[in-house]
Structure 1
Amino acid sequence: MRIGYGIDFHQLVTGRDLFIGGVKIPHEKGALGHSDADVLLHAICDAMLGALSLGDIGVHFPDTSADFKDIDSKILLAKSYELIKAEGYSVVNIDASLCLEAPKIKPYVQQMREVIAGILEITVKDVSVKATTTEKMGFVGREEGLVAHAVCLLQKELSE
């Protein structure tokens, strides 16, 4: 068994769509980034890669590469999962927390869990997505950005 932790931050700006957990969420601001800037999926990628000491998403999907410009982060999650499987591991579970003031994500959490579970070949019960605010403190409280934390547990697959 291996455990990994990931964290990601993105600035919120007008003129961008907001993607969280592979779901497009209506909001007047979106996350700024080279890809679609899905803070939750990026944190999960980093947690999985970190569990096996494979670096982070910047190593595998650099923001200096045109190949990843505006890429759907679900693709990055799937590619990260392929790297995990190539090492002989599978995902046991994901526990993730979002920090943002707005929008409220409760109506989208089940869909996020389904998207993540589908990509990682686990059940929805194996994916936890929670959210909190920072009580109006800091850059998150001022709605200038958002943060995601993720923990994943991996297990080595038995060879036959």
Structure 2
Amino acid sequence: MRIGTGWDLHRLVSARTLILGGVVIPSDKGEAAHSDGDVLIHAIIDALLGSLAKGDIGSHFPDTDPAYKDADSIQLLKKVLTEDLPPHRIENIDTTIILQRPKLRPYIEAIRESLANVLGLELHQVSVKAKTAEGILGELGSGDAVIAQASVLIS
């Protein structure tokens, strides 16, 4: 068994789509990023790579490489799953999204289902929690940033 943790942070800006776990969330702001900015997928990629002691998302998909401009984060995750993970398998994943608004409760199950599908897991192996910053913590509390954290257990 091996454990990995990951996290990611992005500013939220207008004229971008908010994507979490491969699910488009209705919002007037989305992640500012070189790729599509899906902070949840990025945290999961970091957790997987960390569990394997294979670096982080930036070392595999650098934001200086034009090939990853506006990249679909699900495709980046699939690359890690096929090229880096074998012969290991994911036992479970636990994630937390910290976002002031919009409220994520209506989207949690869709995000879990999306992640389970991409990761090849059963729904009971995928945890997604959502928290706010309680209106504090600078840009996060003002609704101008989002953070995602992920922990993964592989065998």
What TM-score comes out, normalization by structure 1 length?
0.93
The question of whether the paired residues in 1 share the 8 Å contact of 2:92 and 2:153 is answered with yes
Q: Does 1:137 align with 2:136?
A: yes
What residue ranges of structure 2 are gaps of 5+ in the alignment? none
- Segment of structure 1 superposing worse, 75-84 or 58-67: 75-84
| Offset, 1:83 | 3.1
Residue in 2 that maps onto 1:43: 43
The question of whether the paired residues in 2 share the 8 Å contact of 1:98 and 1:130 is answered with yes
- Segment of structure 1 superposing worse, 41-50 or 133-142: 133-142
Q: Does 1:71 align with 2:71?
A: yes
Residue in 2 that maps onto 1:81: 81
The question of whether the paired residues in 2 share the 8 Å contact of 1:84 and 1:90 is answered with no
Superposed CA offset, 1:11-50 (max 9, x none): 0001101101100111000000000000001000000000
CA RMSD of aligned residues (A): 0.9
Equivalent residues, number? 154
What TM-score comes out, normalization by structure 2 length?
0.96
Q: Percent identity?
A: 46
Give the distance between the partners of 2:119 and 2:143, measured in 1 at CA: 30
Give the distance between the partners of 2:90 and 2:35, measured in 1 at CA: 24
Residue in 2 that maps onto 1:152: 152
The question of whether the paired residues in 1 share the 8 Å contact of 2:100 and 2:140 is answered with yes
Q: Does 1:16 align with 2:16?
A: yes
| Offset, 1:114 | 1.1
The question of whether the paired residues in 1 share the 8 Å contact of 2:12 and 2:146 is answered with yes
What residue ranges of structure 1 are gaps of 5+ in the alignment? 156-160
Residue in 2 that maps onto 1:3: 3
| Offset, 1:120 | 1.1
Superposed CA offset, 1:102-141 (max 9, x none): 0111111111111111111111110000011111011210
- Segment of structure 1 superposing worse, 105-114 or 4-13: 105-114
Superposed CA offset, 1:85-113 (max 9, x none): 33x10100000001111011111111111
Moved over 2 A (4+): 83-86
Give the distance between the partners of 1:2 and 1:84, measured in 2 at CA: 14
Residue in 2 that maps onto 1:93: 92
